[in-house]
Structure 1
Amino acid sequence: MPHHLFHDRRDAGRELAGLLGHIDDPEVIVLGLPRGGVPVAYEVALSLGAPLDVFLVRKLGVPGHEEVAMGAIAGGGVTVRNDHVIRSLHITDEALRSVAEREGRELLRREEAYREGRPWPELTGRPVVLVDDGLATGASMKAAVRALLDQVPSRVVVAIPTAPASACRELRALVDEVVCATTPSPFSAVGNSYADFGQTTDGEVRELLRAARDPGRARPARRIPRRDSGGG
C-alpha cells in the first residue's frame, strides 16, 4: 500500500497554501481546475484572502484507454497535443477531433454548471494562482496555462500538491513560478499521494465556489478520509 502524503484534497490545499505565503497582492485571484483542483484551490484562496474561481480544462483521453492523455483542451479553443502518445498509438486526426468535440461539449456544460450565470472575472493585469490536485503528464495544466496567458495576467503561479519533478520543470518554462509541494519518485499516479482521492462532484464544486464568495457562509464539511481508498 502506498505511503499517502495527504489525507484528502482539502488537506493538500492547506499544505500548498503554506508554501504560497510570499504572495501578498490584493489583486491576486486563485483559479482551480475542476473538478479535483477546486477543493485544493479553496484552501489556497482562503489562506491568501483571495477570490476563488474555476478555469475549465479537459483531458483528451485515448479512445479505449481514456486514462492515457493524448492532449487537452481549455476555454478559448486552446488545444495541447501530446505528440509522443499520438504517434506511438497511431491516433488519427479524425479520432483526435472526435474526442476534442465531445470533451468540448462537456467543458461548456461544466462552465454553465459552475458559473451559475456569473460573469468571467477580469484577469488582465492581475496575478493568478492556477491550482490543480496534481499532475501526471501535465497536458491539462499546459492547456490551461496557454489559455490563461491569452488573457494577459500580470503574473502566473502554478501551484500543485503532487507531480513528477519533470512535469514541474517543464511548466517552469511557461509561467512565472511553479510551486510543487511534493515530487514523489518514482511517480506512478496522482491518487497515490492521497488517502482519500474520491471523485469531486459538481455539487461540491458549486458549494465551494459559493462559500468562497460569501465569507459569512459556513465552510463546507471535509469528506472523512477513507482508509482503503488509496491509489485512485
Structure 2
Amino acid sequence: MAGSRRFTDRTDAGERLATALREQGIDADIALAIPRGGLPLGRAVADELDIPLDIVVAKKIGAPGNPEYAIGAVASDGSVWRNEEAFRGTSTDEGYFQQRRDEEAKNARQKAERYRGDRDAPALAGKTVVVVDDGVATGSTARACLKTLNETAAERIVLAVPVGPPDTIDSLESETDTVVCLETPRGFRGVGQFYENFGQVSDEEAMTYLEQ
C-alpha cells in the first residue's frame, strides 16, 4: 500500500472526491450514490458541490456456492452486466443466471423503493450525473448502474470513487464518459484496506443521508 493514501472514513473520502471533481472542472447537476456504502460519500459530494443527492441501485449476482464472487450484477430497472470470464470459469449455467438475475432485479427495485419512499426517481435528461461509491473491486455493481444510466438522456455520466485496482478502473473508463478515481494501487486486496474506519453501513443509517 506504499504511496497510497488512506481515508479516515467514507465522509473524508467523499470530501476528497468533491475536491477532485471541482478541480477537474466537472459541473455536476446531481449525485447518485450506490447504496449502502456509497451514501456517506454521496452526501459529502452533494453538500460540497451544492447539488441534490439520490440513488442508483444494483445488486450483485453471485456464483453458485460462492455468493460473494460476482458473475454479474443487475440494476433496479433490469439492466444486467455479466462477467463472461467469471461465468465461464464457474459451474454456472444460463438457467441459474437468469433465475438469479430476476431475483436480484426484484431486490434492487425493492431497495430503491424503500430508500426513496414516496419520492419519484430524479429526471436526468440533459444533466451531468456523478455516480458515487466507496470504492470498486471488480466493479460489478458499478457497471450495472452505469449501464442503466447510459440508457437515460443524461448529458454526461461521471463515475467517482476513492479507490480501485488499475485494471478495473481502466475497463470502467470505456463504459462511461469520465472516471474520477483518487487512488489506483497495484497492491489492491480490497476496498476496506484503504480506510481507517470502514464499518458496515446499515440500511437505516444509509437512508439518513438521503434525508439530510
Same fold (TM over 0.5): yes
Deviation per residue, 1:131-152 (Å, 9 max, x gap)? 1111111121111111001112
What is the SS of the residue equivalent to 1:120?
coil
What is the SS of the residue equivalent to 1:156?
strand
What is the SS of the residue equivalent to 2:20?
coil
CA RMSD of aligned residues (A): 1.8
Deviation of the 1:4 alpha carbon: 7.1
| 1:172 matched to 2:173 | yes
Deviation of the 1:101 alpha carbon: 2.3
Equivalent residue number for residue 66 of structure 1: 67
| 1:110 matched to 2:111 | yes
Deviating above 3 A after TM superposition, structure 1's stretches of 4 or more consecutive aligned residues are 1-4, 22-25
Identical positions, percent? 37
In the alignment, is the contact (CA less than 8 A) between 2:70 and 2:140 conserved in 1? Answer: yes
Q: 1:77 to 1:19 in 2, by over 3 A?
A: same
- The TM-score, its normalising length taken from structure 2, stands at 0.93
**More divergent stretch after superposition (198-207 vs 153-162):** 198-207
Equivalent residue number for residue 101 of structure 1: 102
d(CA) in 1 for partners of 2:160, 2:84: 25
Q: 1:23 to 1:38 in 2, by over 3 A?
A: farther
Equivalent residue number for residue 219 of structure 1: none
Q: 1:163 to 1:86 in 2, by over 3 A?
A: same
Deviation per residue, 1:106-157 (Å, 9 max, x gap)? 2122112100110111001111001111111112111111100111201111
Aligned runs of 1:1-232 on 2, under 5 Å? 5-21=6-22, 22-23=24-25, 25=27, 28-211=29-212
What is the SS of the residue equivalent to 1:19?
helix
Deviation of the 1:64 alpha carbon: 2.1
> Which stretches in structure 1 are left out of the alignment for 5+ residues?
212-232
Q: 1:141 to 1:164 in 2, by over 3 A?
A: same
What code does the residue aligned with 1:133 have? D
In the alignment, is the contact (CA less than 8 A) between 1:4 and 1:195 conserved in 2? Answer: no
In the alignment, is the contact (CA less than 8 A) between 1:4 and 1:192 conserved in 2? Answer: no
- The TM-score, its normalising length taken from structure 1, stands at 0.85
